């Protein structure tokens, strides 16, 4: 049901129209009302044992490039699927998510001046094996206008992140990596693995087999771009440590990167020879943040700082995508300003309010502006200031009570849970919307409202930060089915409904 837009000069008409709409809403009830959304039974309990449909690659022309299918990591089309692959439990997923959130909050504090920054400038301790060869990089050439990659949900990464398959080196080798808007430096595990490497699905990247591989010199300005760097034999070293204790250390290098059918030459990345952590069976990580080492910034001349992705609603039966370039934005994207002055790396936005059941919650806008907010592809559960989460939880609980759902015990960081045992077909839920500066609104898809640990424990997929001063984080559960657009040139973030 469309909302009425009233102007002062049409007061009587609008009053009558609003009364009619309210009466109609009462008659319609939960089913079909704009105040509710319908969650399919498939979204509640995704089907298991599904077969993988034939791969679909569609050429959309020079503007939008080639779109490749996206599948859930543990679905039938997962590039990392295998008998040895075991997904972590929901408890482990949410515990790792909490560690990531704490790390993001620390980084936000350090980079926004709230506390004294702690930049590690000491050399990284790495005992390299045989020096990686330093082949002369190939010269740059003309580029295609855009590229698209497959992305698939990767719960085995410990934080419910998503993965894409890229090509690296000459000849190109395929690697499945996490893509992360909350990180800058891209890296893959490399031979020789002089210290230790976690077990990955694909073979390790071998610099010796690539004719276009080259180490970055310690004297290069590119080495200065790293957050943490060191030097060994004149070659630049990098190190990245993540919030959950995961780490990667190795040579900072450059080589040819392949994105679908597109090529980025002289792409700088970490060639990791000392890697440990919760990366599942992926080969590494693609950094899509706003820092100098990120793919977004490195390929700015090629793609204009534009990329977009869509995360599928369920592990099976749906597809998503990752696009680069000017063809990525959808025509129906709802745009909000990207607040680039708030700090580096992260994609900051301005949240102005929350709606439940179509009604704005009584949350002062100052609650959000004081804490700040960012959109992150790697955080699973959206985090809110306590002063915003409590009204959301209360309003959602009232809506669920009115629909007759039975409450269930809290689960991990989630405290608003319900027992949906016995429900069949579609399930009505109170609609939840996030409102942003500029009027952009993310009407959360039904698949992104609940985090279903079990059919008897389906919880509101939002959680409270420890303090109102901690930044709000829009997690990937709430981003499902939306085309999420990032445009550094225009300084906007967008949300296009129904993109996948």
Catalytic residue set? 180, 376
SS3 432: strand
* 485: exposed, middle or buried (Cβ count in 10 Å: 0-12, 13-18, 19+): buried
User: Residue 224 has which token pair?
Assistant: 């200065």
**Phi-psi region for residue 385, left (φ > 0), alpha (ψ -120 to 50) or beta?**
beta
SS3 363: coil
- DSSP E strands, 69-184: 147-149, 151-154, 161-168, 173-180
Q: For residue 157, what are the contacts with CB-CB under 8 A and spacing of at least 6? A: 73, 163, 178, 278, 279, 280, 282
Question: For residue 192, is the peptide bond before it cis, meaning its omega torsion is within 30 degrees of 0?
Answer: yes
Torsions phi, psi of 80, nearest 5? -110, 10
Return the residue matching tokens 């990089």.
Answer: 137
SS3 439: helix
SS3 295: helix
- What's the CA angle centered on 142, arms 137 and 148, to 5 degrees? 95
Q: What is the DSSP letter of 344?
A: S
Q: What is the DSSP letter of 205?
A: B
The answer to whether residues 169 and 213 touch, using CB atoms and an 8 Å cutoff, is yes
Instruction: Classify strands 457-460 and 417-419 as parallel, antiparallel or unpaired.
Output: antiparallel
Return the residue matching tokens 């793609």.
Answer: 303
Size (the chain), residues = 500
Bridge partners (DSSP) of residue 238 are: 229, 250
The answer to whether residues 391 and 360 touch, using CB atoms and an 8 Å cutoff, is no
Longest dimension (CA), the chain: 82
Return the residue matching tokens 């502006």.
Answer: 369
User: Residue 133 has which token pair?
Assistant: 């060869």
Helical (H) or strand (E) element with 487: strand 483-487
């Amino acid at each position: 049901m469309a909302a009425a837009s009233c102007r002062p000069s049409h007061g009587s008409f609008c009053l009558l129209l609003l009364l009619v709409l309210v009466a109609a809403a009462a008659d319609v009830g939960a089913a079909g009302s704009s105040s509710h959304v319908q969650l399919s039974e498939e979204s509640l309990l995704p089907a298991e044992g599904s077969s993988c449909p034939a791969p679909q690659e569609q050429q959309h022309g020079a503007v939008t490039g080639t779109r490749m299918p996206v599948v859930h990591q543990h679905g039938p089309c997962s590039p990392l699927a295998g008998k040895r692959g075991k997904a972590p439990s929901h408890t482990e997923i949410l515990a790792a998510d909490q560690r990531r959130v704490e790390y993001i909050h620390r980084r936000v504090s350090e980079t926004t001046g709230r506390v004294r920054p702690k930049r590690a400038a000491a050399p990284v301790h790495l005992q390299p094996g045989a020096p990686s060869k330093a082949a002369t990089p190939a010269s740059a050439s003309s580029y295609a206008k855009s590229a698209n990659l497959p992305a698939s949900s990767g719960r085995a990464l410990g934080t419910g992140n998503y993965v894409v398959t890229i090509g690296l080196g000459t000849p190109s080798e395929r690697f499945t990596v996490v893509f992360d808007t909350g990180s800058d430096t891209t890296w893959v595990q490399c031979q020789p693995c002089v210290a230790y490497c976690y077990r990955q699905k694909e073979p390790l990247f071998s610099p010796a087999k690539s004719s276009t591989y080259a180490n970055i010199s310690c004297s290069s300005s590119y080495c200065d771009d790293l957050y943490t760097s060191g030097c060994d034999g004149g070659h630049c070293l990098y190190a990245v440590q993540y919030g959950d204790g995961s780490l990667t250390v190795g040579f900072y290098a450059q080589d040819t990167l392949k994105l679908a059918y597109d090529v980025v030459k002289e792409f700088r990345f970490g060639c990791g020879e000392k890697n440990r952590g919760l990366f599942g069976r992926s080969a590494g990580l693609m950094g899509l943040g706003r820092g100098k080492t990120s793919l977004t910034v490195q390929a700015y001349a090629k793609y204009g700082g534009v990329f977009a992705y869509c995360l599928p609603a369920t592990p099976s039966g749906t597809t998503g995508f990752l696009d680069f370039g000017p063809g990525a934005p959808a025509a129906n994207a709802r745009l909000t300003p990207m607040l680039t002055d708030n700090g580096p790396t992260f994609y900051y936005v301005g949240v102005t309010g929350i709606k439940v059941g179509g009604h704005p919650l009584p949350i002062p806008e100052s609650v959000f502006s004081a804490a700040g907010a960012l959109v992150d592809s790697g955080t699973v559960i959206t985090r809110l200031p306590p002063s915003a989460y409590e009204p959301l939880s209360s309003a959602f609980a009232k809506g669920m009570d009115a629909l007759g759902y039975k409450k269930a015990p809290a689960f991990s960081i989630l405290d608003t849970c319900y027992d949906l045992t016995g429900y069949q077909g579609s399930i009505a839920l109170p609609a939840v919307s996030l409102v942003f500066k500029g009027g952009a609104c993310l009407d959360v898809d039904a698949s992104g409202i609940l985090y279903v640990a079990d059919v008897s424990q389906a919880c509101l997929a939002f959680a409270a930060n420890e303090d109102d001063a901690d930044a709000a984080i829009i997690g990937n559960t709430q981003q499902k089915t939306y085309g999420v657009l990032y445009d550094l040139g225009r300084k906007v973030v967008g949300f296009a409904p129904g993109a996948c």
